[in-house]
Amino acid sequence: MQWLTGGMLAWSWWKLLLVGLATTHATIVAVTIYLHRCQTHRAVTLHPVVTHGFRFWLWLTTGMVTKEWVAVHRCHHAHCETARDPHSPLQVGIHEVLWRGAELYRNSAGDRGLVARFGGGGPDDWLERNIYGRYSWQGVGLLLAIELALFGAPGLTLWAFQMMWIPFLAAGVVNGLGHYVGYRNFECKEAATNILPLGVLIGGEELHNNHHTFPTSAKFSVRWFEVDVGWAYICLMRSLGLATPRKAPPPLARRSCQFAPTLSTLNSVLGHRAILMRELTVLKQAVFQAERQRMAILIPKAVLQQAKVLLQRAPCRLTGAQREELNQVLAHSECLHQMHMAQKTFETLWERSSETQEQLLARLQQWCTDAEREGPRSLQRFARQLASYG
């Protein structure tokens, strides 16, 4: 009976608490580095030994299948804040995502069409096909048996704590609060926010706005006061020869005598989304300031003051009333309307999951042509500069 209640180790509660904190932290690290940064976004390449270690640990502690997790998250990025987003609080409500995020994940992971479309490129060896993918929940059952044997009845509490950690923090907090409340360094088209500047508890996933702005970067922190513990582990593994982060794209550089976008231009543009979108936002604000005095006799002063903020905000973050106010301003300025629509069209270049490079290049070339032919002078200059990048 003593063995049953205390297990083979019969550890005190504070030792079990330390075990719980250590194991759940290891699971968070496996999710953010292996599932998220490595498998989903290819932001870092891991040594096969590290990769298998993460796969085994996730099978043991979560029962999640790599292909399914990758597919759900890629679908989230492809259709963020729309009805096709698997877990957008703007679509289904913050309480639904925060408290039922794990259920939303399972519903999407069970969609075979979604998994087939978005889940490619993951591990496909014998272990994945016959163990990890086929017997996904047997891993957490094995963990329960191990902890009952080691710690007795308290091991059940430890196991329950481990089972709730990822569903609440990753599926609930990151997917819910990370698209609902927090600060934003960048006005990306998604509603993603940085929950906290200290990305420790959830391995750096707290810096969600940064990640949505630079999804292929292995480093989530961008400001001096932000901490990304996942990146710290990647740096440690890199020093040991166990990880290779994806190289940052080279700086934007103009080519003399180049007047039309090339494939090299396309790659430069795709790699510098945040910089280029910020430049367009600055140009749009300059057009607004130039038109503001003329529009002041047509539009209430309060609406104009609000418009300056709304012009910088992602469309998904606008309420119905705010959209009406913004449309009222755009309707009174053809130049501002052209800049606004050009920016929205330009943003669609990054929604490229099903298009070839040639199709994207054709779209970029058409965008530059339209901007030079129809846009205000500042947009024309931007388009000519954009076409010369290579």
| Spans of the chain, pLDDT less than 50 | 1-3
Q: Do 223 and 278 belong together in one domain?
A: no
Q: What is the pLDDT of residue 352?
A: 61
Q: Do 20 and 115 belong together in one domain?
A: yes
Half-sphere exposure of 232 (CA within 13 A, CB side): 10
Contact 361, 263 (CB under 8 A): yes
User: Quick check: helix, strand or coil at residue 206?
Assistant: coil
Q: What is the pLDDT of residue 117?
A: 92
Structural domain span for residue 197: 2-245
Q: What is the pLDDT of residue 68?
A: 95
| Model pLDDT for residues 9-37, shown as the tens digit of each residue | 878 889 999 999 999 999 999 999 999 99
In a domain, 257, yes or no: no
Q: Do 209 and 302 belong together in one domain?
A: no
Last residue of a domain, one of 219, 245, 271: 245
Q: Which of 358, 353, 316 is nearest to 41 (CA)?
A: 353
- Name every residue whose Cβ is closer than 8 Å to that of residue 13 and which is 6 or more positions away in sequence: 154
Q: Do 162 and 311 belong together in one domain?
A: no
Spatial separation of the C-alpha atoms in residues 98 and 111, rounded to whole Å: 21
Domain count, the chain: 2
Q: What is the pLDDT of residue 1?
A: 45
Last residue of a domain, one of 215, 245, 275: 245
Q: What is the pLDDT of residue 73?
A: 95
Q: Do 235 and 313 belong together in one domain?
A: no
Spatial separation of the C-alpha atoms in residues 169 and 206, rounded to whole Å: 10
Q: Do 343 and 234 belong together in one domain?
A: no
By the 10 Å C-beta count (0-12 exposed, 13-18 middle, 19+ buried), 112 is classed as exposed
| Model pLDDT for residues 135-186, shown as the tens digit of each residue | 988 999 999 999 999 998 899 999 999 999 888 988 899 999 999 999 999 8
Q: Do 58 and 190 belong together in one domain?
A: yes
Half-sphere exposure of 339 (CA within 13 A, CB side): 30
Last residue of a domain, one of 212, 245, 278: 245
